[in-house]
Amino acid sequence: MRTLEKPVRLSLNEIMVVTELPPWADPVVPYAVSLARQHKAKVHIVQALSADVSAYEAGDVAVLPRGAFRSSWRDELQKAQARHAVIDASQMAMKMRFQAQQHDFDLAIVSARRAGAGEISLGKAARGVLAAAECPVVIVGPGAEDERLLRSEPATILHATDFSTQALSAAQHAFSWALEYGSRLNMLHVVEGQEAGSDHARARMEEPCLRWLAQLVPEELPVWCEVDHRVSFGAAGPAIVESARELDADLIVLGLFGLDGTCAINPGQTAMRVIREAPCPVLVVREPVAKRVPLDLVRERKPSAATGIAA
């Protein structure tokens, strides 16, 4: 297992936010505006209006945690110079491709709503983003909507990897986020289809996996943030969610699909399970980090209090 290249400093200049709810009702909006303020990024809020009017009934509108907006949402969006547009959700993919031609987005943020029978529905908006966006996508699933206020400066990051090509791309993004915020980075590999058995058997299976995880991490990274490695056994999706809860993770980073991938634009089964149940935002990645800003290891980032709106 080869060590990845040097981590690249996180660079967020253009952020796309896609919501099927009004800006004052969706948890992803204060989260995105907070990130934008930290990075002095431009925010583009796209409200995808669905033809299904039942989606806008009062009972389906999210109640934001206390402190989501420090002043009125209109004032906060004005301060962030956020652009707000309303489009037909059925035209999401086409509109996203048009926007991508006009703007070089570094990040897209979208919420996934709960549908009937407890299942998750990515909806036309989220599917359009995943189909058209070449940048990483943060998805806030239903498990995170009812939790604490989303932290835009993650103190703890969980990166789950199956060592696939997209997982290696996701690792680069996990390194950049951890470097930027001095986060504790937890590297996780789940051994599927195997039971740990005795302590001796567990140790025999863990040893090579822990070695591969350690070899992924660039030498410079532990200088700037704490890195931990762990191996779990069983089904990958539940194991990732359980680890996120144990660690009180603020962000999960994984490939859009890994070894379970069947389509280049849809999440794999593991990613879908994590999105559905994760207690925090999930950063899904398709491409490696765009090397716009070289890493300056002489630079010292001082720890700061959580800033922005959803800190």
Which pLDDT tens digit goes with each residue over 254-296? 988 765 544 555 567 888 889 888 999 999 998 777 644 444 4
Q: Which two tokens mark 241?
A: 């969610």
Which comes out higher in pLDDT, residue 287 or 61?
A: 287
Percent helix, strand, coil in the chain, to 5, is 40, 20, 40
Average pLDDT of the chain is: 77
Which comes out higher in pLDDT, residue 248 or 192?
A: 248
Q: Say if residues 48 and 99 touch (Cβ distance below 8 Å).
A: no
Which comes out higher in pLDDT, residue 18 or 73?
A: 18
Q: Is the pLDDT of residue 123 over 80?
A: no
Query: Per CATH, the architecture of 14-285 is what?
Result: 3-Layer(aba) Sandwich (3.40)
What's the confidence (pLDDT) of residue 48? 76
Q: Where are the domains of the chain?
A: 14-285
Which comes out higher in pLDDT, residue 225 or 148?
A: 225
- What's the pLDDT band for 70 if we cut at 50, 70, 90? low
- What's the pLDDT band for 50 if we cut at 50, 70, 90? low
Q: Is the pLDDT of residue 253 over 90?
A: yes
Mean pLDDT of 216-229: 87
Of the candidates 30, 31, 36, the one whose C-alpha atom is nearest the C-alpha of residue 11 is 36
d(CA 6, CA 173): 11
d(CA 10, CA 180): 6
Residue 154, SS3?
coil
Mean pLDDT of 212-217: 90
- What's the pLDDT band for 230 if we cut at 50, 70, 90? very high
Which comes out higher in pLDDT, residue 29 or 134?
A: 29
- What's the pLDDT band for 78 if we cut at 50, 70, 90? confident
Angle 110-133-179 (CA atoms, 0-180°, nearest 5)? 75
Q: Is the pLDDT of residue 150 over 80?
A: yes
Q: What dihedral angle (degrees, nearest 10) is formed by the CA atoms of 234, 111, 66, 53?
A: -130
- What's the pLDDT band for 189 if we cut at 50, 70, 90? very high
What single letter denotes the amino acid at residue 53? V
- What's the pLDDT band for 305 if we cut at 50, 70, 90? very low
> CB within 8 A of 183, min separation 6: which ones?
154, 155, 156, 157, 177, 225, 250, 251
What's the confidence (pLDDT) of residue 2? 53
Percentage of the chain exceeding pLDDT 70? 69
